[in-house]
């Protein structure tokens, strides 16, 4: 596990001749003061942390080496680091500044998102209006487009993994279950539902035991992941459709008393729109929540959809002030 990035601190030390020297030293855990826990996963804990020298605030994800080895998750750890190393230049993705390690743990120094989860903000207002949904939806879509252009499929997009910074701008996180396509630029023809029965894998996807085992969070998992275990870029757009629905309705489209019943609703496309759901948003959601990934709207189609009429994407989007939440 090679450390990444070369953050150094300058440390005052006395050399062999008793002379005080300023020596560049790679940053380590002693260079930070750790605060509250921001989140805990099966193999990691994320802390609020402050660089003692620069006073800059970060989120530091700490992974215990013993636990990762015991649970045979080394591959996940390296996939997440490789994924974050590919996603370095987008305002909508939590950035990895550098990593370091000590004898017990691995440390990822990441962007801090003081605004918390999009889900938390949504719960405060219950539902968002069209203006707010367009603002957050456009930023999420812009970030997905960048991810996919770098050959990364998130596979677990949901409002809990959409964080917000101080300006309530979106930052997508948690790439521990992402899939890295071998050739980022290869246009990925998602498998068709009728091809699902065959064992043929999508040619872009590396043959990876993780593909067979991983399924995302029940309410947002795509039908192809349930029927064929093969996530494709369109799987993230299924989750996008679920998120747009949830921002406007205040609940996800597929939710039942158990995971199994939720999965049943998904594969049967069993969901309804609440009365008063905005028509343009309804049309967009209906064209994202399509069982056959090959027939789902692409990112370009979504950007040109009536719901996003007049919405600018790209750099200008990230300079726009967040609308009043309502
Ligand atoms: N898994 C991660 O990489 C990760 N997990 N968290 C906290 C989780 C809490 C549950 N929902 C998903 C995120 C973070 C990160 C990246 C880096 C990161 C940066 N800032 C925050 N900020 C938060 C502030 C308030 C509440 C939750 C998170 N959190 C994280």
ipTM confidence:
0.99
Residue 73's pLDDT is what? 86
Q: pTM for the whole thing?
A: 0.88
H or E, element range at 39? strand 32-40
The answer to whether the Cα torsion of 101, 102, 106, 109 is positive or negative is negative
190 or 95: whose pLDDT is higher?
95
What mean pLDDT do residues 12-21 have?
86
Most confident of 18-27, 79-88, 175-184, 294-303: 294-303
Residue 140's pLDDT is what? 98
Ligand 1 lining (C-beta closer than 6 Å): 38-39, 41, 46, 59, 61, 94, 110-113, 116-117, 160-161, 163, 173-174
H or E, element range at 34? strand 32-40
Residue 213's pLDDT is what? 62
Active-site annotation, residues: 156
The answer to whether the Cα torsion of 263, 268, 272, 277 is positive or negative is positive
What mean pLDDT do residues 72-91 have?
89
194 or 247: whose pLDDT is higher?
247
Residue 194's pLDDT is what? 42
Residue 195's pLDDT is what? 41
Measure 74 CA to ligand 1 centroid, in angstroms. Answer: 21
| Phi and psi angles of residue 101, each rounded to the nearest 5 degrees, phi first | -145, 160
Residue 323's pLDDT is what? 87
């Amino acid at each position: 596990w090679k450390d990444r990035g070369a953050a150094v601190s300058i440390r005052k030390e006395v050399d062999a001749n008793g002379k005080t020297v300023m020596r560049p030293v790679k940053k380590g855990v002693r260079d930070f003061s750790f605060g509250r826990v921001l989140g805990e996963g099966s193999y990691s804990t994320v802390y609020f942390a402050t660089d003692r020298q620069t006073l800059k605030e970060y989120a530091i994800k700490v992974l215990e080496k013993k636990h990762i080895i015991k649970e045979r998750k080394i591959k996940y750890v390296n996939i997440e680091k490789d994924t974050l190393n590919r996603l370095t230049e987008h305002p909508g993705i939590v950035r990895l500044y550098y990593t370091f390690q000590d004898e017990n743990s691995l440390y990822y120094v990441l962007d801090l998102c003081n605004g918390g989860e999009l889900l938390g903000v949504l719960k405060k207002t219950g539902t968002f209006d069209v203006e707010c949904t367009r603002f957050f939806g456009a930023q999420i879509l812009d970030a997905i487009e960048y991810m996919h252009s770098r050959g990364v499929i998130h596979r677990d997009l949901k409002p809990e993994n959409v964080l917000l910074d101080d300006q309530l701008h979106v930052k997508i996180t948690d790439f521990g279950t992402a899939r890295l396509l071998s050739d980022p630029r290869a246009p990925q023809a998602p498998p068709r539902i009728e091809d699902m029965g065959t064992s043929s894998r999508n040619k872009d996807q590396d043959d990876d035991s993780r593909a067979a085992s991983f399924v995302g969070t029940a309410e947002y998992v795509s039908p192809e992941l349930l029927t064929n275990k093969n996530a494709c870029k369109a799987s993230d757009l299924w989750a996008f459709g679920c998120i747009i629905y949830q921002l406007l309705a205040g609940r996800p489209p597929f939710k039942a008393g158990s995971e199994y019943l939720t999965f049943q609703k998904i594969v049967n496309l069993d969901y309804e729109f609440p009365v008063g759901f905005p028509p343009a948003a309804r049309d967009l959601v209906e064209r994202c929540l399509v069982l056959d990934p090959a027939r789902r709207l692409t990112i370009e189609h979504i950007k040109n959809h009536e719901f996003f009429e007049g919405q600018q994407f790209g750099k200008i989007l990230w300079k726009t002030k967040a609308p009043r939440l309502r």
